[in-house]
Copies of this chain bind each other. A is one copy, B any other.
């Protein structure tokens, strides 16, 4: 278990540890999207990861990094979806119980995913307070070990392996874009760019309707979003001390986009890459398209974070 910012060696070790349990996800590209962006864009498809999201990397790594004795009463977490599935999958692999506190408005495919993995589900109101209280109760009752969705260096080291893989295949990237919610993926991406590539600058895309990270990045301390209203349901959380610390050190900028821009980018991906992504996952491409001049003629990597979307709620008419 890591107690400080993951080193290069930590991330290499993490990758070896989780490699047998995760998918080496493909990197896709599209001539049409390149043309629209005025850049060469390489999409690291974590929507094709186990459980349909990069979160499998961090969840599995955190669970495998615990001592046997620590997990004997199971693991628990709170999550609106993808981290929940990651912890449920990790628990299934370890043969221990998983307790998941989920907001009662979590998307159906994510809820079904957790149930399908055999975890015990506890619904709560969709507030951070209700989620944290729910987890506290579970820990008191069961002795389960808490795995935080992002304020956890083992989770961050796990998420870092996505861009490590991308950089193994495309070592000359000028930039890497990732979405930012709690900052686990973004801080991991920042670390991998710093350790495994001298050149690539890291940017985040963030929804205007959950714009906490951009404020925190400017002020240097964890801030709340002025308001929450976005289709990108995976990016609602604030940063934590751990993720903000790494982001300040490794990220170049955080770029805001609105829901229309997010949905236009999502549609581009569906139609041209022929893959399914969730709205949160479209945020970095939306940010790239909105800031084309920043990335002109560059080689740009985008981490596509996940594909757990309720298709019945999307309309393409």
Contact = CB atoms under 8 A, between A and B. Distances in A.
Contacts of A312: 315-317
A275 B109 contact: no
A23 B312 CA distance: 31
Contacts of A48: 26, 28, 273-275
Given A26-B26, A32-B116, A116-B32, A274 B52 contact: yes
26 contacts: A23-B28, A26-B26, A26-B48, A28-B48, A32-B116, A47-B274, A48-B273, A48-B274, A48-B275, A52-B274, A109-B271, A270-B276, A270-B311, A271-B311, A274-B275, A274-B276, A274-B277, A274-B307, A275-B275, A275-B276, A276-B276, A311-B316, A312-B315, A312-B316, A312-B317, A314-B316
Interface of A: 23, 26, 28, 32, 47-48, 52, 109, 116, 270-271, 273-277, 307, 311-312, 314-317
A32 B28 CA distance: 24
A119 to B, nearest CB: 15
Nearest to A52: B274
A13 B238 CA distance: 55
Contacts of A315: 312
A64 B240 CA distance: 56
Contacts of A316: 311-312, 314
